[in-house]
Amino acid sequence: MIILLLIAALNDLEIMGRDVQNALLSADNLEKHWLKAGPEFGAEQGKTFIVVRAMCYVDDILAISMKATEVLLESLKSEKIKFKNNKIAEPEMYLGARLQKKQIN
């Protein structure tokens, strides 16, 4: 991913992002995952659970294009994807990494 961001920056491409609503709750797992319940599970603590909805997906979408804003505005028309809000902006963080745009002479 970092390489894509570098290529985008070197080619003066627009990088815009937005958040998907309920991505972690609505996507089926392609692999079998399980977890051992911690104290946050209350009376269920210590039990083993099989995860049937994705905990391995991200809820961010990036568009890298000369017209990234337009691409994401078009995604508002999607009936399959629900978004948290209509905010489209340059990402400040992506997959836990802080992103920053800098001008170099």
pLDDT at residue 45 is higher than 80: yes
pLDDT of amino acid 77: 73
Q: What is the mean pLDDT of residues 41-45?
A: 92
The Cα 34–Cα 36 span in angstroms is 7
Instruction: Return the closest-CA partner of residue 18 out of 73, 56, 78.
Output: 73
Can you read off the two tokens belonging to residue 64? 């890298």
Cα–Cα distances (Å) from 54 to 9, 33, 48, in that order, read 31, 9, 16
Q: Which of 11-25, 36-50, 86-100 has the highest mean pLDDT?
A: 36-50
Confidence of residue 47 (pLDDT cuts 50, 70, 90): very high
pLDDT at residue 25 is higher than 70: no
